[in-house]
Every structure is written in structure tokens, then in C-alpha cells.
Amino acid sequence: MKVEVDRLALLLQADYPYTYCFSCLASRMGMAQTAVRDTAQVLILRDHQLFAVRRRVCIGCRAVGDLLVYSKPGS
């Protein structure tokens, strides 16, 4: 699980300030959507000051919803 959590964190940081819905994240990571959601929960618990779920527009499919976002320190 740690590998997936680190991969998800790096993906979100690399794409900052853009965000993706869980479906698009699952496609990009080659994982099931439920696995991405589980990984996101662990990431938020581990680094709650940097990652959160917020209402945003997905840059991939343009859907509006609760997306996992990275908050760059100092911004």
C-alpha cells in the first residue's frame, strides 16, 4: 500500500494545480477506482496538511465533484 500512496502523492504533486476525479486517477494509475479511493484515504490520513478532498472540476473528463487535491505548502 505504501508504494501506491507514494505514487498517488507524486502524481498529484506533479500535476499541481490541476486535479483529476477518482475515475481519471484510476485510469492514469492503472488501478481500480475503489483502490484509488482507499489509497487516497491513507494519503489524507498520512499528510492531511497537504492533501484533502475538495469540490473541483476534473481536468481529464471535466466532471464536477469531490476530488483529491494537493495543497502546495505556502500557497
The 10s digit of each residue's pLDDT in 17-73 is: 999 999 999 999 999 999 999 999 999 999 999 999 999 999 999 999 999 999 988
- Domain ranges within the chain, ordered by starting residue: 2-70
- 3-class SS of residue 57: strand
Provide the CB-side half-sphere exposure for 59 (13 A, CA): 11
The x, y and z cell numbers of residue 43, run together, are 494519503
Mean pLDDT of the chain: 95
Q: CATH classification of 2-70 is 1.10.3470, yes or no?
A: no
Q: Which of 56, 49, 63 is nearest to 19 (CA)?
A: 56
Q: Which of 54, 32, 63 is nearest to 12 (CA)?
A: 54
Residue with cell 492531511: 48
pLDDT above 90: residue 1: no
